[in-house]
Amino acid sequence: MAHKNNSKKTKQDNNVKSGIEKFETFFGKDQKIFDTLKKISPDFADYSAGFIYGDLFLREGIDDKTRFVAIIGSLIGQGNTGIPLRRYIFGALHAGWTKKEIVEVIIILSAYVGFPSAVVALYTAEDAFSDFDNEIK
């Protein structure tokens, strides 16, 4: 029985490691997000890295660019236009999205989420675009 638990722990550790590596391809080596989460809840930080980036982002079937549009659409639809949206727009740029494509996604979403949500999302996108531009300078 102990072997099974060790095997499960090893898989989880591998998922966390793979997840952090995947995370870094979009967001760079800046680990502030995970460091902050680890201070609050080490388990939650590991679940985030392992499940979101170590499991979901490594699945076959759709590419990363498609994953990002799904996430961005979901966040805007939920009205979650703060830090998560800003980070995922930044990541989307690293995944190959252009600023124009991201703006077009927000424009089409305006018909479904409402103009106020779309306006806030556009302002958030502008902040993410600036972050991206400053990074590549």
Exposed/middle/buried for residue 124 (C-beta within 10 Å: 0-12, 13-18, 19+): buried
pLDDT at 110: 97
pLDDT at 118: 96
Q: What is the pTM of this model?
A: 0.83
Domain 63-137 has CATH 3.40.50.2300: no
**Structure letter (DSSP) for residue 51:** I
pLDDT at 132: 94
The CB density around residue 130, as the number of other CB atoms within 10 Å, is 12
Domain assignments of the chain as residue spans, ordered by start: 1-59, 63-137
- Quote the CA–CA distance of 41 and 72 in Å, as a whole number: 25
Amino acid, single-letter form, for residue 78: Q
Query: Helix 64-78 crosses helix 83-94 at what angle (to 10 degrees)?
Result: 160
CA 12, 24, 45, 38 dihedral sign is: positive
Query: pLDDT tens, position by position, for the chain (137 residues)?
Result: 445 556 656 766 778 888 888 888 888 776 677 788 889 998 998 888 889 888 898 999 999 999 999 999 999 999 988 899 999 999 999 999 999 999 999 999 999 999 999 999 999 999 999 999 998 76
